[in-house]
Amino acid sequence: MWKTDRDPVKMMADWLTAEKLTDRAQLDGIRSEIESEIEKAVAFAIDSPYPSPDKVDQDIYA
């Protein structure tokens, strides 16, 4: 199954571990760090008020 056997993220992790370039503990650490960053970002988005409509045409151009 390409979804389970050919996931490039999983394959890369397996390869890095096999080559002893990293280990499971470090990879798990990276994963939980990213998960917590995402959770914080989602919480920030949910807790923030909606923008006022006058912002709709801001930032189209730098």
Partner 1 sequence: MPETRELTLGEAVREALAEEMRRDSRVFMCGEDIAEAGTVYKVLTGMVEEFGPERILDTPISEPGFTGIAVGAAMTGMRPVVDIMFGDFSTLVMDQMVNQAAKVHYMSGGKWKVPMVMRATLGASRRSAAQHSQSLHAWFCHIPGLKVVLPSTPYDAKGLMKTAIRDDNPVVFFEDKMMYKLKGPVPKEDYTIPFGVADVKREGTDITIVATSSMVQVALGAARMLDEEGISAEVVDPRTVWPLDEETILKSVKKTSRAIVVDEGYERYGVTAEIASVIAEKAFFDLEGPVKRIGAMHVPIPFSPPLEDATVPTEKQVFEAARKMCG
Binding residues for partner 1, per CB under 8 A?
58-62
Task: Kindly write down the DSSP assignment for every residue of the chain, as one continuous string.
Answer: -HHHH--HHHHHHHHHHHTTSS-HHHHHHHHHHHHHHHHHHHHHHHHSPPPPGGGTTSSS--
Tell me how far, at minimum, the Cβ of 31 lies from partner 1, in Å: 24
Tell me how far, at minimum, the Cβ of 50 lies from partner 1, in Å: 14
User: Residue 18 or 60: which CB sits closer to partner 1?
Assistant: 60
Tell me how far, at minimum, the Cβ of 62 lies from partner 1, in Å: 4
